Every structure is written in structure tokens, then in C-alpha cells.
Amino acid sequence: MARKRRLIPILVGLSVIVIVILFVFRENQPPILSFSYFPENPQVGEEISFDASESHDPDGEIITWQWTFGDGNTSSDIVVKHIYASPGDYEITLKVEDNKEEVSQETIRIRVLPAKLRGLCYGPFRDGENPNCGIFPTEGELQADVDFLQSLTYSIRTYGITESLKEIPQLCQEAGLDCYPGASISKDSKQNEKEIQGLLEVSSQNLSSVKGLIVGNEVLLRGDLTEDELIHYIERVKARVNVSVGTAEPWSVWLSHPELAQSVDLILVHVHPYWEGISISDAVNYVSEKWQGVKEAYPGKTVVIGETGWPSEGDPNGPAIPNEENQREFLSEFCTAAQENRIEYFYFDVFDERWKEEAEAIESGQVCIGSVGSHWGLYYSDGSIKPRLRDLVPLETQSGVERPPRVLSVISASLPWIVYTDCDSPQNHFYPTGWMGDLEDIAIDTQCNEIPYSGESCVKISYSPEGPNGWAGIYWQYPLNNWGDYPGYNISEATRLTFWARGQKGGESAEFKVGGIKKEGKPYHDSADPVSLGVIEFTNQWKEYSIDLKGQDLSMVIGGFCWVTNAHQNPQGYVIYVDEIQFESKEVKPVSDLFFPSGWMGDWGDIEFDDGCTDNPYSGPTCIGITYSATQSQGKGWAGIYWQYPEVNWGDNPDGRDLTDVTKLIFWARGKKGGEEAEFKVGGITGKYPDSIQPAVSTGVIVLSGKWQQFTIDLAGKDLSHVIGGLCWVTNKNQNPSGCTIYLDDMMFE
């Protein structure tokens, strides 16, 4: 406190008396500042309350208040609410003045954290997973992702609604996360039906988390469907649901397809400046302009940016350079622009996905520019944040999430192990995805109902020999499209693969085999070299065929079944049918181990028999060759041989074979030239101790080709308790007037 003296003279008579009077003056005290803000850790877009009402002046009153917020905005209120559009550190200054012009000022620094992103595109596939191979995330993996995403964003969109992906909407419901499930629509009409049904099933659950449904993603861009076909799918869904329905296409597609725009409730616009060769400095403005253009073209429609982003790695596309710094710049500037312009969006993408590592083409479809497909995520595929983006995501998500890779192991199969039994059967364990040769020459229908051998469907394969390679084929693989990237099945207990097949007309040729997928550089391969049936010629009737797998290493099977043909075998092309393909382990009993070719009949002198024939056996070093001269040595006009037990047993020996566990006899046969006729049968010998099979079970007269064919005699339900005539071959002069030579091999009871 300052003190001042003042002398005041007083006249008293002739004397002057000086009186010293002491006056005390107080200086004006400055205002005392006190202000607070809430919340303590504010986010972009979040309202922050700044409160200076506790400030006061000890000897007067505060008459002016002046706030500056570090982003160019000011206020003169005592209590003020403010929203920041961008994350960062800001200096907030409060300056006040009292009624005596005394000023106080105080500055603090606050950090505004990134807000949740408005929406994100969510691809859930971890390392080791691939939708093209049928390897989908587990429900536990999806649960972990969704729990993380609810802190990162308000909403997600997805790209498929089958397999485990159908669980995502319910997980979002539990997490309080909005969800826009998407159906993956392609050229595959059968798969499209599954996707559409998936959307309808999700809608029927009436989940509050489901805010809209997306029918297809860039369908018209890829040319998978026509506009009318896509609109048909959209209208089917709209007619059955009570939420908004849309589809997603690039901005240019929307502007050129007004009818599509009118058919949807929700327009999802894709704007990818990288793909269009736009530099990072112009990228965000470009996105905003294209969004605005679509919005102006379709007033009254809800227009959302369905995808936009920037890759962190890959090949440049002209001035568009993919790297982490540019990715950061794009994300930061885009989120600010979206906040300022009130743009609803789904940012692409949450996580890098390695299955997308194949090269992509820019939207014009004219230039292939290398692999950026797996580098669009905010986070690496293992769930760790990309370092340059750390301060652009909410605090609780900056440490990322653990996403260990999916490791598959060999699956041990239990027999019978089905390759195909009916379309979409859960028993099917291999898939016809390994197309080879002239792919355009192949058409396959796994849901064919044209007289299947059994069940509701069979496989129809059409081949048109027009391509440059002159051949084509299909592997049934596990997993889908597996050329050695994933392990397969252990089917070591199997001893054969059986299937049924027929031609549309008869005379068609093809080869079938098991195993043989071995690609250099791949971590896995079939443990067996290809085991082939050889080239077979079909009739127009269903026949069972068997590939012998005894002694083969089946510890790793990824190519479970293979069909191959070529233009030389089928110059006019053909249609064939295949059904009931399966690995089995039934005990087989060779005819030669049980019976003896001792029962020669008729013109037995017209027969020459060679059980050590080396003339092109079906398997092994030898086969059986039978020549019939038709010279009528005994004057009968016919001849035949019974394989008997015991030898030369015409029913006078009580011994026989008990084959009650047998259901069929299978054998391979061919003619020397083709066109030879013969009949084959089991049982039928009479006598005191006759065959228990009466009458004999016959193939009827068959016409052999010059190529090996498999034949079956069905013995199911027959009395096989006492078999003495295990196999019989018989022919006659009328059938073969010039005689014939035929060959037999691999005659087995099963």
C-alpha cells in the first residue's frame, strides 16, 4: 500500500501553522481469473464447455470477457461452448477487464483428440484367411474386431452376408454399433441367391443396429450384371424389408445410371482419388466435388460416400503416390472436410487384408498398376496402428487390437469322405474351383437335375473345344481355389475313389484322377502323384467307376478329384454327367484269389485263355486275354468260362465261398478292336450243391469299346452264402461271327 504526504497551511493570527495530514490511497486490484472446461479429454466434433463464472474482481467488477480458442474463433461470453473441427493441441486464452480498466489474462493448452470416425468399411479377413478359398473368420475373431470397432467408429459397412459374416449384425447389436450389411453380388446367380437370402434373414431379425442394406458392390463397374438385373435384386430386397436399401458404385457410374439411382433409397458413392491419378494435394477437394456432383444430380436422395481412402504402400498411379505420409494427410483433411460439410461416409478400410494382394486395375479398367490392394487399412493386418495415423484415431484405439494370423492344419477325414453328393450338401468336402486349360471352353452346373444318378442333383460338365490350348479340366479342391496355399485332408484310410458317370449321347471320352497338385513355391501340395483312371469312354447310361488308391500316400489331399479332356478326344465337344463322388475303404476281394477259370463251356475248343497277357493291361503288368475263334469246335455255336470254387465245381462239391458281405462285382474290360459283344454274370450253377444265387445276376449283352471300361454287377440283396460260380463270361457266333479277342482286368468283389 503506498502512502503520500500533503502539507496544508493554516493561518492563525500572524502565525502560520503547518499541519501534516496523512491520506492513505489504495491501488486498483486486477481481476482474479478462474475458468474450467469439460470434458477433460475432448474429441473433434464434441461440444466443449468453457466456464469462467468463478472469476471475480476483489475491488470492483469484471466488465469484459474475451476468449480466443486457437483455431481462429473467439467469444465474449462468460460461459461458452465450442467445437473443434480438427484434432491437435490448442492454446485457449481468456482475457478480462474490470471497471477500472485493469486487465488479467491467462492461457492454457488443451489437446483435442480425434473423434470416432463416422463410418468405416470393414473387411474382417485376417492373415491366413481368404473368402476366395472359403476360409472365413471365426465368430471369436469377429467378436474381438467388433468390440474394438465400437470405440473407433459409429458405423460399419460389410461386403458379404454368408458363412460367418452373417453373424456380424448381431455382434454389432450387442456392441451398440450401427451396421450396413452388404450382399456380394456377382456373375454367379446361385451365389447371389444365397447373398440375397442372407440380407432377408438379417432384416427379419429386426435388429436396431441394422440401419440399411447394401445390394452389391461395384457390380456395374465390373460388368457382372446389367443395370436391369441389379435393379431386380434391389427391388426384391426393398419389397421385403423396412430399412433403407442401396447399392455402391463409383461416382461416374451413378451419374450415367439415373434409373439405378431412382431404384435405391441410399446412394453409396465410391470416390478413390488414387485410382483416378489425383495427387494428394487435390485429393480431398476431388472427393468433395464428386460427392457434391452426385448429390446435386439426385436431389432428395441420401448420398453417402461409400468408399474413399488412400493406400499406404504400392505402385504410384501417375501423381498419386501411395505412402503412409500421404495416407495420413488424406485421412486428416478428409475427416475435417466431412465434419465441415456434413458428409456421411464410410472410410476405406479398417485393416489391411493380405488376400487382396493381387494387382488391381484402376476404375477405367484399362491400366493395371500393381498391388495396393492390401494397404488401405488404418491398421496393419495384425491389428497394430500405422504409426503416422496414431494421433488421428480415438485415444482408446491408438494401441490397436491383437489379430493373430489364422493357422490351418490338416483335417483327418472319416470315411466315406464325400467329394460330391448333392448341390450345396454339407457333406461335400471338395469344390470344382481348379479350372485349367481353355477355361472359356468349360461350363459346369453342380445343381443339374437332368436324371441324376441319385439324390436331387448331379454335376453337368459341358466342353466346347474352341480355345488355343486344345484341352480343359477341373480340379475339385479343398479349400476352394487351393493350388497349395493351404493344407488339405488326410484321407489315408481310403483305398479307392468311386463315382458314377454317363455321357449325354455316349462315346464321350475323358480322364479322371486323384491328387497331383504340386506348384513350385507353394507351402503345400498333394502327397500323391496323380492317380489316373486313364481315358475312359462313356455310354449314355450311368456307370460306376473306381480309382484304385491302395498303397498311395493320401496324408495330404488338396486335389480330391479331377476331370480332364481335350479336343483330340472330343473334337465336337460334349456334355457329361458325374454324381456320387467319394473316397471309400471297402475291403475288396479279387476274383482270382477266390475262384479258378476252370469251367469251360460250349465250344471250349474255340477259346484261348491267357492270364498273363501283357497287351496294354488296365493296371499292373498283366491282364487276362480271351480269344474266341467262332469255329464251333464242339458244334455249339457258343462258348464261355466260369470262374469256380473249388476248381471244376459244377455243383457236385459242397464247398463254396461265403460272400455275404459283398454288394457288387466290379471289373474292367475292353475289346481288341471295339464292337465285341459278350455277357458277364455271377452265380447260376445248379447241381446237388448249387450256387445260392439263382438265377445268375447278369450284365446282359454288352458291346465293348477298344478302351478300358469299368462294369458293375449289382449283388446287393442277393443270397451270397454259397457262391461257386464267381464270374462267368459267355459269347456266341451270332454276336461275334468272325470271333473276337477281349481283355479283362481288376475283377473285384466289394
> Which CATH number covers residue 321?
3.20.20.80
Contact between residue 667 and residue 680 where contact means Cβ atoms under 8 Å apart: yes
- Do 186 and 152 touch, CB atoms closer than 8 A? no
For residues 206 and 348, state if they share a domain. Answer: yes
- Environment class of residue 16 by beta-carbon count within 10 Å: exposed (0-12), middle (13-18) or buried (19+)? exposed
Place of cell 429386426: 206
610: Cβ contacts below 8 Å, ≥ 6 apart: 624, 625, 626
Instruction: Select from 516, 515, 522 the least CA-distant residue to 484.
Output: 522
Q: What is the dihedral of CA 423, 426, 427, 433, to 10 degrees?
A: 60
For residue 74, the domain's CATH number is 2.60.40.10
Residue 186 and residue 278 in one domain? yes
Residue 687: inside a domain, yes or no?
A: yes
- The pTM for the full model equals 0.72
Same domain, 182 and 48: no
The pLDDT value recorded for residue 618 is 87
In this prediction, residue 370 carries a pLDDT of 53
Mean pLDDT per segment of 10 residues, for the chain of length 750 residues? 40 42 63 91 88 93 95 96 90 94 94 90 96 95 98 97 97 97 96 97 96 98 98 98 97 98 98 97 98 97 98 95 98 93 95 78 40 94 97 94 97 96 95 97 96 95 97 98 97 95 96 97 96 92 90 97 97 97 88 96 97 90 96 97 97 95 93 97 97 96 94 95 97 97 94
DSSP string for 302-358 = EEEEEEE---SSS--BTTB--SHHHHHHHHHHHHHHHHHHT--EEES-SB--GGG-S
For residue 714, is it within any domain?
yes
Q: Is residue 13 in some structural domain?
A: no
Cα distance between residue 472 and residue 464, in whole Å: 9
Q: Nearest Cα to 623, choosing from 632, 634, 633, 612?
A: 612
CB-count exposure of residue 96 (10 Å: 0-12, 13-18, 19+)? buried
Domain of 737? 589-749
In sequence order, the 6+-apart residues with CB closer than 8 A to the CB of 649 are: 598, 599, 655, 656, 685, 724
User: Is 4 inside any structural domain?
Assistant: no
Distance of CA 378 to the CA centre of its chain: 22
Of the three residues 553, 584, 615, the one that is the final residue of a domain is 584
Residues 611 and 547 in one domain: no
Check whether residue 571 and residue 596 sit in a common domain: no
Instruction: Report which residue type is found at 711.
Output: F
* Structural domains of the chain, count: 4
> Is 571 among the domain residues?
yes
204 and 253 belong to one structural domain = yes
User: What residues contact residue 563 under an 8 Å CB cut-off, 6+ apart?
Assistant: 461, 473, 474, 510, 511, 512, 578
Asked if 201 and 313 sit in the same domain, the reply is yes
Residue at which a domain ends, from 560, 584, 608: 584
Are 347 and 157 spatial neighbours (Cβ–Cβ below 8 Å)?
Answer: no
The pLDDT value recorded for residue 2 is 37
Residues 328, 434, single domain; the answer is no
Q: Are residues 170 and 265 in the same domain?
A: yes
As a whole number of angstroms, the distance between CA 182 and CA 166 comes to 10
**How far is 56 from 748, CA to CA, in rounded Å?**
107
Cis peptide preceding 404, ω within 30 of 0: no
252 three-class SS = helix
Domain stops at, among 584, 602, 617: 584
Please report whether residue 648 resides in a domain. Answer: yes
Q: Are strands 15-24 and 3-12 parallel, antiparallel or unpaired?
A: antiparallel
Q: Does the residue 79 lie in any domain?
A: yes
Residue 495 placed within a domain:
yes
Residue 493 sits in a domain whose CATH number is 2.60.120.260
Q: What is the CATH classification number for the domain harbouring 677?
A: 2.60.120.430
Name the packing angle between helices 168-175 and 139-149 (round to 10°): 40
Residues 232 and 373 in one domain: yes
The 10 Å CB-count burial string (b at 16+, else e) for 584-603 is bbbebbebeebbbbebbbbb
Query: Within this chain, do residues 67 and 206 fall inside the same structural domain, yes or no?
Result: no
The verdict on 565 and 620 lying in the same domain is: no
